[in-house]
Amino acid sequence: MKNLEREILEKAKSWLSTSFDEKTRNQVQHLLDYEPEELTESFYKNLEFGTGGLRGIMGVGTNRMNKYTVGMATQGLANYLIKTYPKDELIKVVIGYDSRNNSLYFAEIAADVLSANGCKVYLFEDLRPTPEISFAIRHLNCHSGIIITASHNPKEYNGYKAYWNDGAQLIPPHDKNVVEEASKIFDIAQVKFKGKKERIEILGEEIDNAYLKEIKGLSLSPEAIKAHHDIKIVYTPLHGTGAIMVPRCLKEFGFTNISSVEEQSVPDGNFPTVKSPNPEESAALKMAIDKAIKIDASLVMATDPDADRVGIAVRNHQGEFVLVNGNQTACLLTYYLLKKWEENKKLTGKEYIVKTIVTSELMKDIAIKFNVEYFDVLTGFKWIADVIRKNEEIKTFIGGGEESYGYMIGDFIRDKDAVSACAMIAEIAAWAAKKSKTIYDILIDIAVEFGLYKESLISIVRKGKTGAEEIQQMMANFRNYPPEKINGSRVILIKDYELQKEFDLSGNSMKQIDLPKSNVLQFFTEDGSKISVRPSGTEPKIKFYFSVMEQLYSADEYDELDQELGLKINNIIADLKLI
């Protein structure tokens, strides 16, 4: 512990050198003099690339998002790009940013560092959705890309996602190599902060137009939209970048009755109308639902600040708005896409979908029904993009999704995309209306056909250094002392993605898991329950995913069975002593 304290002090004092600006030096000195706990949190480690890139609280220190950590990460990226590509090749990088505080500032720092290293930089003129940056990388034939965003995190956070030339977030070996290059920077003077403005080109509407043209090409039911173009939709960008593109995309699809939540349509990194700008949380949709009730709308959609996730609410049979969770939306999209591809005679036997290991097994069941191949991957759309990369020009990717409200349709974007997802969800509403149904009816139809799956998630937050240690201990306990029964049902299968092993307890056998290592555990029980345990790669929390399923024989029994499955999940949570 004393060695760690000494290391923290040495790191902090190094930030008092004249290589750092006066404001930073004063803030570090204040921490040294008056705030030892905050000093520890700010310097006890370096920010690292997780499943969603670099992400942290804004402030001074090696474990914070600031000019210098952004500069070092970008210098590391520049060094790796220069090593990777021939010296005679002009390296091109796209940079975008969202509505968070300091996002433009960090984007300009990244642009300066890259241009100072001889790179050609494309910087968006204003905030743009994360998926548009992924699109722009491939559209402009760039080698890499950066988006400054902390996705749906609270306002004190910001982040830095790095992309490779296929428009996907970094995966091994690239992520590790960038981190390794950044770790070689022992002196901030090694970072080239003085940019070359002539190497920075500002991007505008031409990329927007190209991006929206590709999304419009995804439409599968234009006749349904034409017949029901005036369905009432309420949309909120939650003070983020969705305000730039989602309403325009919906209009280009043909929808004519879109109402935005005005108070939340103004980009604002303080997110003044919500506690958290996370569409996974019901409170984030409250203002939109209130407006939908007022104007008698049938569909509510909310995107997070960088518009890569979308949450929706629809009316049930009593006319009340109910939230549709990420698993349900992923399965709804999968069902619609495969059904329409089949109806439109587009299926050739070479198509596939991709889901993450913690996402509903219903996606797999739907794929099997339509004779479409499916892949399971680790959490994070970079792994979905990896499957696309490996199957390029061999097979056709239809769509993919994960339970955390992220979806990807088509392969021209290599990250989750709430802009195209909003358009497709609205199209499903029109398609259902043409059948005299609602999205809620379609969800019940799917449950009757495939069984009623119910999923839930709880996150246990443990902040700071001690919290990280506690999360590590929780994982160690589950790994070393796995439960024999969960809610009275025997555990028959354990998947340990860290060990890359699958243990069949009923057959007393073991086989390898052909996925990269990841600190995830899954327990499958005799009654069909699935429990996944995973520390977040970008936030100070450990996540528990629950999935239960029973056959639904009649639409009339939906509500009753849904309640029973909810109680079953509560019993599992209680049995595991998580709350």
For the annotated catalytic residues, the residue numbers are 151
Q: Which DSSP state fits 91?
A: P
Question: Contact at 8 Å (CB) between 331 and 362?
Answer: yes
Neighbouring CB atoms inside 10 A of 75's CB total 24
Q: Is-contact 333 420, C-beta < 8 A?
A: no
End-to-end CA distance of the chain: 31
DSSP state of 90: P
Burial 80-110 (b: 16+ CB within 10 A, else e): bbbeeeeeeeebbbbbbbbbbbbbbebbbbb
> In angstroms, what CA-CA distances link 248 with 205, 210, 253, 256, 304?
12, 13, 9, 10, 17
The amino acid that residue 266 corresponds to is V
The residue to which tokens 């512990």 are assigned: 1
What does the alpha-carbon distance between residue 99 and residue 80 come to, in Å, rounded to a whole number? Answer: 29
What DSSP string runs through 521-560? Answer: EEEEETTS-EEEEEE-SSSSEEEEEEEEEE----GGGHHH
**Nearest Cα to Cα of residue 414 among 380, 366, 377:** 380
Using alpha carbons, select from 384, 449, 433 the residue that is nearest to residue 51.
384
Contact of 400 with 382, CB cutoff 8 Å: no
